[in-house]
Amino acid sequence: MLTDAQCRNAVCPPDKKQARFTDSGGMYLQVSPAGSKRWFLKYRIAGAEKQLALGSYPAVTLTAARKARDAAKLHKSEGRDPVTVRKVEKLKAITPAGDAFKATALEWYELKFDSWSSHYAIREKRNLEKDLFPFFATRRIGDIEAIELLAVIRRVEERGALDVAHRVLTTAGQVWRHAVATARAKRDVNSCLW
């Protein structure tokens, strides 16, 4: 196992492209002839060798690199590829709006608006503002349960607006599918109601 002093003093011989200094659990410090130092984790998924960058030394300390290694190994033990997990986390981080129902619904609405007629756009906006936002606007869309959506749809039905209830359910379903596609929700709760 490496020590912090060994990491600080690690150098690459000028005749080599890089030098590797192994720590434990598949983690190593790779040093270039120019002096840059980067942490990597080597692991196998389905027999194929893979490599995960853990950061640059000294910005990522030996202790921090070991913690990152342990987190990656936990993902692997759960059957998830650590590289894929990192890619998904990065994609989630660049999602432009928050994960509240209203933010997700308005993002979906803006994406679809140009392809709709003005009448249809007004109806979709009304479905959101009148029947969905009052109950879910600030809630995380991933936390909303199917039974809650069903309760909202039943309220619309109790007004005697059966056709509107069906349209609101359709609108909600499209918002949830957008939420699933943008990793804000794990599943489409609307599909439980059809």
Structure tokens at 156: 């619309």
Boundary of a domain, candidates 31, 59, 93: 93
**The amino acid at 153:** I
Last residue within a domain, chosen from 76, 93, 110:
93
Closest CA to 73 of 32, 23, 36, 30: 23
Q: What pLDDT is stored for residue 90 in this prediction? A: 79
Output the pLDDT for position 63: 94
63 and 108 within one domain: no
Q: What is the pLDDT of residue 192?
A: 64
Asked if 118 and 186 sit in the same domain, the reply is yes
pLDDT average, residue stretch 56-82: 93
pLDDT-derived band at 96, boundaries 50, 70, 90 = low
183 band by pLDDT with thresholds 50, 70 and 90: confident
Q: What is the DSSP secondary structure assignment for residue 66, as one 8-state letter?
A: H
pLDDT digits (tens, 9 = 90+) for 27-43: 999 999 999 999 999 99
Choose among 110, 118, 93, 78: nearest CA to 178: 110
pLDDT of residue 156: 94
pLDDT over 90 (residue 113): yes
Same domain for 106 and 31: no
Amino acid identity of residue 46, one-letter, is A
Task: Decide which of 56, 72, 93 is a domain's last residue.
Answer: 93
Provide the domain count of the chain: 2
More confident residue, 150 or 182: 150
Q: What are phi and psi of 89, to 5 degrees?
A: -60, -40
Tell me, what's the pLDDT at 193?
60
- 105 and 189 in one domain? yes
Q: Which domain holds residue 37?
A: 4-93
11-26 pLDDT, tens digit per residue, is: 999 889 999 999 999 9
**CB-based contact 32:12 (threshold 8 Å):** yes
Quick one: residue 55, left, alpha or beta (phi over 0 = left, psi -120 to 50 = alpha)?
left
Domain containing 38 — which CATH number?
Answer: 3.30.160.390
Looking at per-residue confidence, does 98 or 46 come out higher?
Answer: 46
Same domain for 10 and 86, yes or no, is yes
Torsion of CA 186, 191, 193, 194, to 10 degrees: 180
What is the tens place of the pLDDT at every residue in 152-167? Answer: 999 999 999 999 999 9
pLDDT-wise least confident of 10-24, 91-105, 107-121, 176-190: 91-105
Residues 6+ apart with CB under 8 A from 51: 40, 41, 42, 43
In this prediction, residues 131-150 reach a mean pLDDT of 92
- CATH assignment of the domain containing 122: 1.10.150.130
